[in-house]
Amino acid sequence: MGTESNLDAAMKDVSTVLEAAGYDIQVNKVNIITKELAFEYKFVSSPTIRINGKDIALEVKESSCKDCGDLCGDDVDCRVWSYEGEEYTEPPKELIINSILKAVYGEKEALEDEKVEYKLPDNLNKFFDALDKK
């Protein structure tokens, strides 16, 4: 929930500038609640924020998440966000804003088609299995 709040706050702060510059901003929030959705979106870690299909986290780091563990009834890990030498359990608003601005004004990187076959990470598999049993 903190990720969603920080995303909303970041969008509020940056959208006025981007819209004034002629950009159309669209946010698609997807609640990955099944293995099928995880496969469809090639979900790697929770939570995830993507801009133009690209994850804003440069690496996947995770730590134990009590809230998600309570939700599914098992021990699971969630994403840890690294930003300016610090680690956070929620993406800082500044990280989100900087990622958006970099995507808009930074060097344009070609979106590569993923040729690697997607495999549901063990941690997510464990989460969904526990959720199904509950």
Span 78-120, pLDDT tens digits:
899 999 999 999 999 999 999 999 999 986 665 555 567 899 9
Q: 85 in a domain, yes or no?
A: yes
Mean pLDDT of 53-82: 88
The CA distance from 128 to 16, in Å, is: 38
pLDDT of residue 71: 80
pTM of full prediction above 0.75: yes
Quote the number of domains for the chain: 1
pLDDT of residue 75: 87
Q: 111 in a domain, yes or no?
A: no
pLDDT of residue 10: 97
Q: Is the pLDDT of residue 22 over 80?
A: yes
pLDDT of residue 134: 77
Q: 60 in a domain, yes or no?
A: yes
CA atoms within 13 A on the CB side of 111: 7
Domain residues for the domain of 78 are: 2-106+116-133
Mean pLDDT of 27-32: 94
Task: Please state, in angstroms and as integers, the Cα–Cα distance from residue 53 to each residue in 23, 42, 80, 118, following that order.
Answer: 17, 11, 20, 15
**pLDDT band for position 1 (cuts 50, 70, 90):** confident
Mean pLDDT of 21-34: 93
**The dihedral sign for the CA sequence 64, 67, 70, 72:** negative
Mean pLDDT of 29-55: 93
Count the Cβ atoms, other than its own, within 10 Å of residue 94.
13
Q: 64 in a domain, yes or no?
A: yes
Mean pLDDT of 8-37: 94
The CA distance from 107 to 42, in Å, is: 25
